[in-house]
């Protein structure tokens, strides 16, 4: 039996539907809101990527049906290059911001951080609601960019000036680009509010006995990420603000003098496009870590559960996370090796970049150490967790290639980079999201997901993403540039066409495999086997509460914690897991 | 052997009130591994408010640091400029408001309700005067041909002062909230902590203004 803290004053329960599910202050509802927002964004982002793939594989094919859906994006059934570029930009923005920065942190973090540390709520529930609705507004504005005159911006998710600073630089660089900037600005505010809530909740709302080192690694991931957000997003906000002023108020922070765009001399001048690169990547590099760190937390958590072993090197895992978070702020220059920077500075950035490989490797070896000699339960979430490690290693290795200046001179802005970050960030994080969904679905919705469909989904997706993204590296080695709509204009790209066709087919198959997930999700929601409170026989606090957790999580009581988070297979114990609330004797 | 702890309930939660403090129970801070030593009380963690405001200050500092780096990167340093005298008026307003803020904070500590209200009002008034003086400052600058898009320096000058003003408006809203909320609707501790947090923020904006003043008008 366990000790508990009893009889807390009750929070008034919202009576109306709107209070309960729309403007909710319940961290679990807000977590689900974020989750479904990310799912919607993922759907949009995936459809965009399929359009991108169509043009790359069959650049001269006519698509009259698609022209009916996107009358401005096609002419005579041929996809216009600017539409292609708009899709590239929107796909990247949608995925990086609305999916990968939202699902691992804001969705699962909101839902499970308070429960896992034994709190009834986030510290600032209203602020939490505000963060969600700001994120939602940001999403709506981003989508709106597709529908304004000229369409969505075409500058890529990195939005490099000077062209992004000039409305006449192309279709989509007008109103679409302004909306893009507004959307990102609002997203920055939302991320700021969210990070305050996460940090304060973690530091002040832990229940009795929940020391920092007894927190599950998920909580450490969310905490580290919140710290990164707090420091990184203001810089993006500044960059966006300056660019907005450049575009709309005749400033020229980013526009160099004497610039000629589409035959016109641009007014003003005296700014520097490199300023954007510095500001953007000072944010951008930490951004990629704030995507992956909460995922790393989830992976460790899931892995311990199904390996039935404590996470190998728990303390090293925490230290590595913090080290990655801190070092992440020092290496933005590796995105700018070809910007003409002083080679000595480049060398410094290069060395620091390789240094960050050390904590990354520590994490990887600790995951392998956790699996070593374990009696693994190969459930769907576990498969996705192992798949994550595979992808993270495959993508990390190419990171080490790109981190060296001399090699990056060749690979910069080729498909090699695209391959690198899709492996290590894109798909790896998506695997983390799937692992988390399969793992926590029973707790969130009270029913189990179907294992057979889950495993089928995993294997198809796993094979699919390798089939898509390994060839990306080959394209890159052959010198194929990123973000080119017209591959047929260049002789050296023509022989690569079959590879493009292969990738596109793989992409469609993989995308179709996601329907299995969607089907499983919807089916399990209604028909799945009822989940008990602790279906995975796991140890942490979310498995002590009712399924699904009631308002305030612990039904007017707070748990008292006696143990570390991952006491699996303790020698001499009666069961192979001891929950955190079980007292020691 | 289910031991159930019933903590002393010193602070009933406000289920209806404004602010962010809807939840009344406190954290125990997880005793940070030292075992024992946890507070048995259910007051909200007062450090929650001050922590939140400190984090906010860190984030805003990043914002202004990023802007300063951009300012340096663009080589936007001082161009010949006649400093309008109203600059000193606004500076005195904000410095004075720092003093009254501090007086308000201390009055509350000594539970002098009337004085507290007096000094908070004075702070708000001085804050508004500061904003007014800043607008006059902008007008003077524009009149002297110092337009937003004249050069990098002028552009940054308006961005810096504008953003500072926007954050000050946030401070004014916080002050108004502290003033408007009935003392009975929240506990003394929580009230004091909120005022402390607001004061910290206000002093930060005070210091930020001095920094910006030097950066924009004196640093070459
Ligand atoms: C061993 C670790 C890593 C190293 C050494 C590394 C190195 C690099 C380098 C040098 C580049 C710039 C390539 C270029 O543009 O020419 C790059 C790009 C990128 N990396 Fe990594 N990386 C590592 C891990 C990661 C991780 C963990 C993530 C995300 C979770 C990530 C996400 C990205 C992204 C998104 C880009 C491309 C951004 C763009 O240009 O659109 N990388 N990486
Ligand atoms: Cu990077």
ipTM of the complex as predicted: 0.93
pLDDT at B145: 86
CB contact under 8 A, B58 and A4: no
Residues in A closer than 8 angstroms to B60, CB to CB, are 234
Residue B34 banded pLDDT, cuts 50, 70, 90? very low
Beta strands in A376-507 (DSSP E): none
Which of A120, A112, A24 shows the shortest CA–CA distance to A556? A120
Instruction: Using CA coordinates, name the residue in chain A closest to B53.
Output: A196
Contact A506, A62 (CB under 8 A): no
**Considering CB atoms only, which of B2, B27, B73 is closest to A275?**
B73
Chain A interface, mutation test: which of B3, B11, B32, B70, most A Cβ atoms within 10 Å?
B70
Contact A300, A220 (CB under 8 A): no
- Whether B3 has a pLDDT exceeding 90, the answer reads no
Q: What is the DSSP letter of B60?
A: H
Distance between CA atoms of residues A481 and A476, nearest Å? 7
Strand partners of residue A265: A260
CB contact under 8 A, B159 and A245: yes
Q: Which two tokens stand for residue B36?
A: 């024992």
> What string of pLDDT tens digits covers the 585 residues of chain A?
455 555 555 566 777 777 778 888 899 999 999 999 999 999 999 999 999 999 999 999 999 999 999 999 999 999 999 999 999 999 999 999 999 999 999 999 999 999 999 998 899 999 999 999 999 999 999 999 999 988 899 999 999 999 999 988 888 899 999 999 999 999 999 999 999 999 999 999 899 999 999 999 999 999 999 999 999 999 999 999 999 999 998 889 999 988 898 888 888 778 999 999 999 999 999 999 999 999 999 999 999 999 999 999 999 999 999 999 999 999 999 999 999 999 999 999 999 999 999 999 999 999 999 999 999 999 999 999 999 999 999 999 999 999 999 999 999 999 999 999 999 999 999 999 999 999 999 999 999 999 999 999 999 999 999 999 999 999 999 999 999 988 888 999 999 999 999 999 999 999 999 999 999 999 999 999 999 999 999 999 999 999 999 988 988 788 999 999 999 998 888 889 999 999 887
Contact A62, A77 (CB under 8 A): yes
Instruction: Using CA coordinates, name the residue in chain B closest to A128.
Output: B20
Per 3-state DSSP, what percentage of chain B is helix, strand, and coil (rounded to 5)?
Answer: 70, 0, 30
CB contact under 8 A, B27 and A245: no
Residues in B closer than 8 angstroms to A584, CB to CB, are none
Fold of A28-256+266-578: Cytochrome C Oxidase; Chain A (1.20.210)
Classified as helix, coil or strand, B147 is coil
In a domain, B32, yes or no: no
Distance between CA atoms of residues B59 and A190, nearest Å? 13
Contact A237, A188 (CB under 8 A): yes
Residues in B closer than 8 angstroms to A9, CB to CB, are 9, 12-13, 24-25, 42
Which of A74, A72, A52 shows the shortest CA–CA distance to A63? A74
Query: Residues A265, A271, A274, A279: what is their CA dihedral angle, to the nearest 10 degrees?
Result: -130
Classified as helix, coil or strand, A562 is coil
Q: A267 to chain B nearest CA, in Å?
A: 11
Q: A27 to chain B nearest CA, in Å?
A: 12
Split into its structural domains, chain B has a count of: 1
Sequence-ordered list of residues with C-beta below 8 angstroms from that of B15, at least 6 positions apart, any chain:
A11, A12, B22
Q: Which two tokens stand for residue A179?
A: 């909306």
Please tell me the pTM assigned to this model: 0.93
In a domain, B139, yes or no: yes
**Considering CB atoms only, which of A6, A124, A238 is closest to B4?**
A6
CB contact under 8 A, B29 and A126: no
Residues in A closer than 8 angstroms to B4, CB to CB, are 3-6, 557
> Number of CB pairs < 8 Å for A and B?
177
Distance between CA atoms of residues A565 and A17, nearest Å? 36
Q: Relative to the CA of A338, which ligand 1 atom is closest?
A: 16
Candidate of A159, A330, A397, A425 to mutate for ligand 1, largest count of ligand atoms within 8 Å of Cβ: A425
Q: What is the DSSP letter of A20?
A: I
How would you class A572 by CB atoms within 10 Å of its CB: exposed for 0-12, middle for 13-18, buried for 19 or more?
Answer: exposed
Distance between CA atoms of residues A523 and A227, nearest Å? 38
Q: Look at the block and give the residue holding tokens 């004061």.
A: B199
In a domain, B39, yes or no: no
Residue B43 banded pLDDT, cuts 50, 70, 90? very low
- Phi and psi, residue B37, nearest 5°: 70, 10
Residue B30 banded pLDDT, cuts 50, 70, 90? low
Listed by start position, the domains of chain A span 28-256+266-578
Classified as helix, coil or strand, B98 is helix
pLDDT at A10: 58
CB contact under 8 A, A211 and B34: yes
Mean pLDDT of chain B: 81
- Whether B21 has a pLDDT exceeding 90, the answer reads no
Strand partners of residue A447: A530
Q: Which two tokens stand for residue A313?
A: 């090197």
Which of A237, A308, A364, A565 shows the shortest CA–CA distance to B60? A237
pLDDT at A9: 57
How would you class A152 by CB atoms within 10 Å of its CB: exposed for 0-12, middle for 13-18, buried for 19 or more?
Answer: buried
Sequence-ordered list of residues with C-beta below 8 angstroms from that of A565, at least 6 positions apart, any chain:
A214, A215, A216, A217, A304, A314, A539, A540, A580
Contact B175, B151 (CB under 8 A): no
**Considering CB atoms only, which of B23, B38, B60 is closest to A11?**
B23
pLDDT at A8: 57
Q: Between vectors from CA A220 to CA B23 and to CA B66, what angle results, nearest 5°?
A: 90
**Considering CB atoms only, which of A6, A7, A211 is closest to B32?**
A211
pLDDT at B2: 39
Distance between CA atoms of residues A440 and A297, nearest Å? 14
DSSP per-residue letters across A261-303: ETTEEPS-----HHHHHHHHHHHHHHHHHHHHHHHHHHHHHHH
- Phi and psi, residue A386, nearest 5°: -65, -40
Q: Give the H/E segment covering residue A229.
A: helix A217-248
Residues in B closer than 8 angstroms to A123, CB to CB, are 20, 23, 27, 45, 48, 52
The CATH number that applies at residue B166 is 1.20.120.80
- Whether B13 has a pLDDT exceeding 50, the answer reads no
Span between the terminal Cα atoms of chain A, in Å: 11
pLDDT at B10: 35
Exposure string of B27-56, with b = 16+ CB inside 10 Å and e = fewer, is bbbbbbeeeeebeeebbbbbebbbbbbbbb
Q: Whose CA is nearest to atom 35 of ligand 1?
A: A421
Residues in B closer than 8 angstroms to A208, CB to CB, are 5, 28, 30-31, 38
DSSP per-residue letters across A42-88: HHHHHHHHHHHHHHHH-TT---HHHHHH-TTTEETTEEPHHHHHHHH
**Which residues are near ligand 1 (CB < 6 Å)?**
A 158, 288, 291-292, 334-335, 353, 356-357, 360, 396, 399-400, 402-403, 408, 411-412, 417, 420-421, 424-425
Q: Give the H/E segment covering residue A433.
A: helix A428-445
Q: Look at the block and give the residue holding tokens 């009581």.
A: A557
Instruction: Using CA coordinates, name the residue in chain A closest to B14.
Output: A11
Distances (CA, A) of B25 to A123, B53, B54: 10, 20, 22
Query: Residues of A numbered 153-192 whose beta carbons fall under 8 angstroms of chain B's beta carbons: which are they?
Result: 192
Distance between CA atoms of residues A209 and B37, nearest Å? 10
Exposure string of A510-521, with b = 16+ CB inside 10 Å and e = fewer, is bbebbebbeebb
């Amino acid at each position: 039996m366990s000790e508990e803290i009893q009889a807390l004053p009750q929070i008034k329960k919202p009576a109306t539907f709107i209070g309960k599910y729309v403007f909710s202050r319940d961290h679990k509802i807000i977590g689900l809101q974020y989750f479904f927002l990310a799912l919607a964004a993922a759907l949009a982002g995936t459809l965009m990527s399929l359009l991108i793939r169509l043009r790359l594989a069959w650049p001269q094919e006519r698509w009259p049906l698609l022209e009916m859906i996107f009358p401005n994006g096609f002419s005579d059934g041929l996809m216009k290059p600017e539409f292609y570029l708009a899709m590239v930009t929107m796909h990247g923005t949608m995925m990086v911001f609305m999916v990968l920065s939202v699902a691992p942190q804001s969705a699962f973090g909101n839902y499970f951080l308070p429960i896992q540390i034994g709190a009834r709520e986030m510290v600032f529930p209203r602020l939490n609601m505000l963060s969600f609705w700001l994120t939602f507004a940001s999403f709506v504005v981003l989508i709106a960019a597709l529908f304004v005159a000229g369409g969505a911006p075409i500058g890529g998710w990195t939005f490099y000036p000077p062209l992004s600073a000039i409305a006449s630089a192309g279709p989509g660089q007008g109103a679409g680009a302004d909306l893009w900037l507004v959307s990102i600005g609002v997203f920055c505010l939302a991320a700021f509010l969210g990070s305050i809530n996460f940090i304060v909740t973690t530091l002040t709302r832990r229940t009795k006995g929940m020391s920092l080192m007894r927190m599950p690694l998920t909580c450490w991931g969310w905490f580290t990420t919140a710290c990164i957000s707090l420091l990184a997003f203001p810089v993006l906000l500044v960059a966006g603000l300056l660019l907005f002023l450049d575009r709309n108020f005749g400033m020229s922070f980013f526009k160099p003098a004497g610039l000629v765009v589409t035959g016109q001399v641009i007014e003003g001048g005296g700014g520097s496009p490199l300023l954007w690169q510095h500001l953007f990547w000072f944010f951008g590099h930490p951004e990629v870590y704030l995507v992956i760190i909460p995922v790393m937390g989830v992976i460790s958590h899931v892995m311990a559960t199904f390996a039935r072993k404590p996470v190998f090197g728990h303390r090293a895992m925490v230290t590595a996370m913090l080290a990655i978070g801190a070092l992440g702020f020092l290496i933005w220059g590796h995105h700018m090796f070809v910007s003409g920077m002083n080679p000595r500075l480049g060398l410094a950035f290069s060395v620091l970049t390789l240094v960050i490989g050390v904590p990354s490797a520590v994490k990887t070896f600790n995951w392998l150490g956790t699996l070593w000699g374990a009696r693994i339960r190969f459930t769907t979430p576990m498969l996705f967790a192992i798949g994550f490690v595979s992808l993270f290693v495959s993508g990390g290795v190419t990171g080490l290639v790109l981190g060296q200046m001399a090699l990056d001179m060749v690979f910069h802005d080729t498909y090699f980079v695209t391959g690198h970050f899709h492996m290590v960030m894109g798909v790896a994080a998506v695997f983390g999201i799937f692992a988390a969904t399969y793992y926590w679905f029973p707790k969130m919705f009270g029913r189990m997901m179907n294992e057979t469909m889950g495993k089928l989904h995993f294997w198809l997706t796993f094979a699919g993403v390798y089939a898509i993204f390994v060839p990306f590296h080959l394209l890159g080695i052959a010198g194929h540039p990123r973000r080119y709509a017209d591959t047929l204009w260049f002789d050296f790209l023509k022989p690569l066409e079959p590879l493009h066709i292969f990738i596109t087919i793989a992409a469609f198959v993989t995308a179709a495999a996601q329907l299995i997930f969607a089907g499983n999700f919807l089916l399990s929601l209604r028909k799945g086997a009822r989940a008990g409170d602790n279906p995975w026989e796991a140890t942490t606090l979310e498995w002590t509460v009712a399924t699904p957790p009631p308002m305030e999580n612990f039904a007017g009581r707070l748990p008292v914690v006696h143990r570390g988070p991952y006491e699996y297979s303790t020698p001499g114990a009666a069961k192979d897991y001891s929950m955190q609330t079980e007292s020691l004797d | 052997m289910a031991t159930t702890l019933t903590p002393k309930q010193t602070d009933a939660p406000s289920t209806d009130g404004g602010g962010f403090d809807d939840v009344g129970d406190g954290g125990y801070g997880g005793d940070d591994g030292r075992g024992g030593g946890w507070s048995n009380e259910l007051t909200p963690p007062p450090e929650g408010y001050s922590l939140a405001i400190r984090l906010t200050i860190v984030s805003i500092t990043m914002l202004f640091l990023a802007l300063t780096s951009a300012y340096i990167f663009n080589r936007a340093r001082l161009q010949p400029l006649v400093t309008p005298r109203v600059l000193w008026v606004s500076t005195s307003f904000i410095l004075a408001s720092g003093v009254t803020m501090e007086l308000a904070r201390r009055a509350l500590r000594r539970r002098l309700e009337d004085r507290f209200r007096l000094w908070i009002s004075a702070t708000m008034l001085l804050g508004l005067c500061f904003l007014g003086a800043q607008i006059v400052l902008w007008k003077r600058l524009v009149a002297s041909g110092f337009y937003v898009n004249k050069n990098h320096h002028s552009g940054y000058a308006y961005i810096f002062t504008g953003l500072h003003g926007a954050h000050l408006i946030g401070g004014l809203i916080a002050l108004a909230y502290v003033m408007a909320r009935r003392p009975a609707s929240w506990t003394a501790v929580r009230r004091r902590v909120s005022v402390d947090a607001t004061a910290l923020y206000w002093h930060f904006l005070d210091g930020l203004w001095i920094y910006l003043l030097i950066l924009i008008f004196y640093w070459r």
